[in-house]
Amino acid sequence: MTTLQQAQPTQFSRILAIGAERGELVVTNDDIAGPIDSSDEWIRQRTGIITRRRAADGTDVLDLAEAAANKALDAAGLAGADIDAVIISTITHMHMTPSAAAILADRIGATPAAAYDVSAACAGYAYGIGQADALVRAGLARHVLVIGAEKLSEIIDPTDRSISFLLGDGAGAAIVGPSDTPGIGPTVWGSDGSKATAIRQTHSWTELREDPSLGWPTLRQDGPTVFKWASFQMAPIAEKAMAEAGVTAEDIKVFIPHQANMRIIDQMKKQLGLPDTVVIARDIAETGNTSAASIPLAAERLLSDGQAKSGDLALQIGFGAGLVYAAQVVVLP
């Protein structure tokens, strides 16, 4: 009798490299304040944003993803052919099918890598890292490319005061592969669909088809609901991620939360009781909120600026529309 064979597992995985690509255009608060009847001072005080990066008209989300992917491959010393699976988290790939991941795999020479998209908004990158960790350790892939990529400027209403002025464009890519030591802690993730309308699209594509006068769908949010949820309910998720990784706040060197709002970041630091020595990602000040791209973009900036270094233990957490969340402790590449 033939014995069924299964994939041979690998004990540990880690992030091998990170790459980043921001939108070409620097958009200041003064550039967008007029249509929302606001000011540079109000936007800075409410969000901590000084500028946001947005892509030019000729650049789409796949262009951003490809640039970030190639930078990560170069940093890892790998070629596209070394990638066994591609995971892209995005809500701004404007085609229902084929997936952005399949197209990107072809662009970077990763065919016939497995490829699929994740729709988990601002938690999508952390979702992808959790899945890549599982794929590598299960023996289903040796190297997995995880990308958070967004061109949120495609789905904003310039007159909207609830979320549009926060948003930017960019892509961050990470390569996850085997490791001799633990490099990615257990992923703590979940969702609360009862709050699905807290961050939402104005109307569906079906409604637009039936009534073209509705115009292009754009994003909206219930700011107070999202602020309260992110500021106070996400800290326990981050604490659970540390506990499941077997570390404490004293062990963490770097904190990389989703770059949603500077006040949320400060409140989470306080809730977590992180030491003052912990480096905290504040990429939102210059890049804006880039949804699924924000964590890898922030991580890349910290590493490039020398604020964080390879081997540092980092706590990362993504949270947003769905409402969905995911957190894990990782060793920085």
Indicate which residues carry an active-site annotation. Answer: 122, 258, 289
List of E strands, 158-271: 169-179, 188-191, 199-201, 219-221, 254-257
At residue 155, what is the residue type? I
Percent pLDDT > 90 in the chain is 99
pLDDT digits (tens, 9 = 90+) for 154-172: 999 999 999 999 999 999 9
Question: Which of 79-83, 187-191, 223-227 bottoms out in mean pLDDT, i.e. has the lowest?
Answer: 223-227
Which residue type does 96 have? M
Q: What is the mean pLDDT of residues 15-38?
A: 97
Question: Does pLDDT of 17 surpass 90?
Answer: yes
CA 90 to chain centre: 9
Q: Are 25 and 53 in contact (CB under 8 A)?
A: yes
Residue range 257-273, pLDDT digits in tens: 999 999 999 999 999 99
Other Cβ atoms less than 10 A from the Cβ of 289: the count is 24
Say whether the peptide bond before residue 323 is cis (omega within 30 degrees of 0): yes
pLDDT of residue 298: 98
pLDDT at 128 over 90: yes
Average confidence (pLDDT) over 79-83:
98
pTM: 0.96
pLDDT bucket at 245, cuts 50 / 70 / 90: very high
Q: What is the mean pLDDT of residues 295-307?
A: 98
The pLDDT, as a whole number, for residue 283 is 98
**Whole-number pLDDT of residue 1:** 80
Cβ neighbour number for residue 202 with a 10 Å cutoff? 16
pLDDT digits (tens, 9 = 90+) for 269-298: 999 999 999 999 999 999 999 999 999 999
The pLDDT tens digits for 86-124 are: 999 999 999 999 999 999 999 999 999 999 999 999 999
Percentage of the chain beyond pLDDT 70 is 100
Question: What is the number of other CB atoms lying within 10 angstroms of the CB of residue 58?
Answer: 7
176, β-bridge pairs: 15, 144
Find the Cα–Cα–Cα–Cα dihedral 48, 52, 102, 203, rounded to 10°: 80
What pLDDT is attached to residue 58? 94
Mean pLDDT of 214-236: 95
pLDDT (0 to 100) of residue 2: 87
Edge-first strand listing for the sheet containing 313-320: 188-191, 324-331, 313-320, 254-257, 279-280
Give the chain's mean pLDDT. 97
